[in-house]
A and B are shown apart, each in its own frame.
Chain A
Amino acid sequence: MNEIYPPFIQAYDLSKHYTLGQINVKALDNVNLQINEGEMVIILGPSGSGKSTLINMIGGIDSPDHGKIIINGNELQTLTSKELTIFRRKYVGFVFQFYSLIPTLTALENVVLAAELVELKGKELRKRGMDVLNAVGLRGRENSYPSQLSGGERQRVALARALAKHPQIILVDEPTGQLDEETGIQMIELIKETAKLFNSTVLMVTHDKSLIKYADQVIEMKSGRILVKNFE
């Protein structure tokens, strides 16, 4: 841990449970972590271990029952819904497990949807969109619709969309889940490269242990708890 600069992301005693019918599910159980700026952190664990819940909370789209999250000095639990939206606008880019591209917009339009939030318009907006699409290797595919793209290409568009705002935090949920091995490796390398380019902190959720070599920090979870933390 860096003693001079406090951790960029801090989480203390995070707990969350969901009720599914009669069953009470503990999604997170007293989770603590600290992540420095610019780090690439991989959160490992089997399905249902609480990985997605954790990054949803860090992204401000879900809230814990107990505990607190502090990101760049902002304690998320004290923010109102509106303030959380502004927080996400300023700091966070998401790459979803199933891409979540808007099917009726082209690749460029999906990316521009995020870029518009930083008050770009006209030529500047288009340039930003093209820049990030080029950065993820999709030059020439900007006018294609998601249904016309392969799985890997869709994932790249999702990544480009996340990068369009030049966010400080990129949250990535199972980026290789829908891809073959080779494409998956390409995707991780791309994420690491572009994150470095924009100096973004990356939290990546995966169940694939072969990816840990790309991480600055690995957190292993099971049943809502952190089992192992690998600090450098």
Chain B
Amino acid sequence: MITCFPIAFLNVAPNLSNIIAIEEDNYKLAHYNIFYTEFEEESISSLIHEWIDNYDDKKRDFIVEGRIHLSSKTKSLGNGEINQNEWMEIELISIKESLPEINQVVLTYGKFPTTSDEITLLESFALADGINLNDKISLYTETGKQDFTVVGFAKSIEYASYKLSQVAVGYLNMDAINSITIENIDNKITSTLVYFNEEMDLQELRNIAEYIKENIDNLESASLALFWFSRDTSYRKNLLDALKLTSKYMTAASLFVFLTAGVIIFVITNRYVGEQKKNIGALYSFGVNKQKIIFSFFIRMFVLGTLGIILGIIIAKLLTLYIINNLADDWGLFSSSSELTPFSILFTLTSAAIVSFSSTFFAIRSLIKLTPYEAMRGKTTELKSTGIIMVLSTYLPVRNIRAAFRNLTRNRTRSFLTILAFALAFTLSSSLMYTQDSLDNTIYEFYDENIAFDLEIELGFSNMQNRSIIEQIIADDRVVTYEFFINNLIQFKDRPENLAYLLGFQYNSTLYRKNNANLVDGTWYRPNSSDIVVSKYVATSLNISKGDKLSFYYFDSLINGTVSGIATELLNNLAIMMDIEFISTELKNVFNLPTYNVLPVANKLLVAYHENANINDIQDDLNQNNPYVVLAVSKEHLLRKQVGLVRNQSSIVILMVSLGLIVGFVSFFSTLLISIVEREREFAIMKVYGYKNQEIILEILIEGMILGFFSIIPALFIGRFTAVNLWIKIVSDSFFNITPFYLYPTQVFLLLFGFISILISVIPSYILAISKPIYEVIREES
């Protein structure tokens, strides 16, 4: 245990990191993903190829590929973890006769679409929605509703997994794409991918990107929507963030394992030393050197340790493979591995050796002080004169409880260490469970307190400029209020490889409340100012602080701002927030638009409806029947997405919670087993004197309950402390502030588990202890 878990844990992150790096090249993750505002001629990709070729004298090995990449909307089937009939965006990628060379897609089941009514889905999305082969899904596009048969599932290097990205993806052939677009798509594309088959440093990529952008600007026919450095800001980056978090979790868990295992080793070795005392006394009296005897214990530990290490490394390899297989599946990786790094093995073996030999030393320390005569007589130095607990226990009204307290205070060291090991293991589990509860609750609370809209309706920029379209939506008498809203990807000026979402709200928005409690640093933006509030995640990822200048492109114009604050943002983690009025003012001249009360820069409407309004019906109507609505999603959908994103570590957390519970159980079981089996003779004597089996087992059960009580109750409280100061801090430092929250069912579960552990530890141990007939046991020399 002391070997296999730490080695496995310390190797998860390096293996995953390795897999991610290898796959990015094996499956050719694009360096650039160049999006155009409209369909462009396919020939633009050849132009881009030419530009890169002629950029400088350096001959580069690269590929350029065009594709059609559209957005549509669909309703979930709801057969998996996604709620039924939930509207969501689905990204649609074209698949031609030959599969793409860049951003490769690998079929995992079924086939790629060959007809216009077939679709292949991202495997992890299908799993999340419980979609099976031959199921039908409906896509709502500019040509109306169309049904497609699911013919296959695939993994994509571009999208990682649905769990990490919360993005639904479907692959259609060109006939299908043609059927869902009004425009004739022959020889047309919406984006160009570029892949460099060599090491590229960031500055070189930036320079080439600038060069391509300039050339596209010079073309009258093409218009750039977004130039995405898809290796730097990508769903795969989510993977790396998840990996960093995983790594921290696992390192901390390894420490718990070392501590708990150390306690168990001490208890078992202590017991063994006790058993050997008379033999040791005899050896002393024959003239064997005390140091030699003590050294023999270390040799014993060395031999047992060596055997344990060999077994531990074998199990570690299997455990690493198991963990990585599960994570690889969860995170949409293509392959798996279970290499054990020399560092992890060396670190674990060194730590295990220190813990094991220290525990052995403390266990045999008492031997050093005994004379041979004392050893042979079985003197135990840990026995003290009757303590206060022992004296007080004689006054307890119930005999079994009296006896239990008396028995526990006999070997105080062992009782204390049993409590310590059980408490440590339970602290690990309880703290992780509290953290998960707190994570979920933070998100739910955020949405309860700050998000007051019912629907986020995306109309797109051109539709937002059409007053009649907006009036059609807000004329619904179920509408209470509405606000214009920007929620769009932007690119930073000084670091084009980084993307973020610009969230533009009205300063006095009632539908997104700017709560000071959500501020981590600084203040919210002032009205009509260039103040920017960045999300904690953006601030941490891009190393942005309060007071920093930030410039970004929006509608090809440069917007300059200053960071006034950093906040927890759970509508969109990767966000910067500004006053929509300010952005509108900055861009009014660009558009030269009429000055009626429509802000030209928004792409979405936030709408709140009456309490009695059926939001699902409204949503269905907008998405199905209003051709101007790109997508209307509910607050619940956004909440579920956020919870899904946050739960990408759930398989790791479950593993570590289970580890804590298993280690806790093992520590309790092993120490109770020793404590019970060594009292075999005592139980026989008690039975001779007339104690019934039930009375003896009740006594031991009460002993177990007392130990359990003193372990579990403190662990529940220390678990809270650990949750706040360790796990929550790890997440809060990177992503968003978490408010500690403790659910009673979690505590009840832990108490129940503890109780069952005690039962399972006591009963078999006692059965083992009474398995011999009484007369045989008492016949043995004491």
Contacts and interface: CB of A to CB of B under 8 A. Distances in A.
A104 B406 CA distance: 10
Contacts of A117: 689-691
B773 A62 contact: yes
A121 B402 contact: yes
Contact of B394 (A62, A102, A126): A126
A89 B380 CA distance: 31
Nearest to B385: A143
A140 B445 CA distance: 68
Nearest to B391: A126
A209 B374 CA distance: 34
A141 B285 CA distance: 29
B405 to A, nearest CB: 12
A116 B399 contact: yes
B675 to A, nearest CB: 11
B781 A143 contact: no
Interface string B671-699: 00000000001100111111111000000
Given A102-B685, A121-B397, A122-B395, A90 B403 contact: no
Given A104-B380, A126-B394, A61 B690 contact: no
Contacts of B386: 106, 143
A176 B410 CA distance: 30
Interface string B405-423: 0100011000000000000
Interface stretch (A33-41, A80-88, A200-208): A80-88
Question: Is chain B's binding surface mostly helix, strand, loop or mixed?
Answer: loop
Assign chain A's interface to a size class. Answer: 35 or more
B779 interface: yes
Contacts of A106: 386
Contacts of B208: none
A62 B774 CA distance: 8
Contacts of B188: none
Given A116-B403, A145-B383, A92 B410 contact: no
A8 interface: no
Nearest to B377: A147
B589 interface: no
A96 interface: yes
Interface residues of B, number: 35
A101 interface: yes
Nearest to A102: B682
A59 B688 contact: yes
A188 interface: no
Contact of B686 (A86, A93, A99, A113): A113
A89 B690 CA distance: 4
A65 to B, nearest CB: 14
B395 A104 contact: no
B778 interface: yes
A85 B692 contact: yes
A216 interface: no
A104 B690 contact: no
Given A52-B779, A103-B380, A116-B403, A122 B394 contact: yes
A90 B377 CA distance: 34
A125 B773 CA distance: 30
A85 B690 contact: yes
B478 interface: no
Nearest to A161: B689
A53 B411 CA distance: 35
Q: Which of B379, B394, B681, B692 has the most CB of A within 10 A?
A: B394
B378 interface: yes
A203 B357 CA distance: 53
B377 A101 contact: no
A61 B688 contact: yes
Contacts of A100: 681, 685, 778, 782
B399 A61 contact: no
Given A85-B691, A86-B690, 7 more contacts: A100-B778, A103-B380, A104-B410, A119-B399, A122-B394, A145-B380, A147-B379
16 contacts: A52-B779, A61-B687, A61-B688, A62-B775, A86-B692, A94-B685, A96-B778, A101-B782, A102-B682, A103-B380, A104-B380, A104-B410, A109-B406, A122-B395, A126-B394, A145-B380
- Sorted from nearest, which 4 A-B pairs have the closest CB atoms? A89-B690, A104-B410, A88-B690, A62-B775
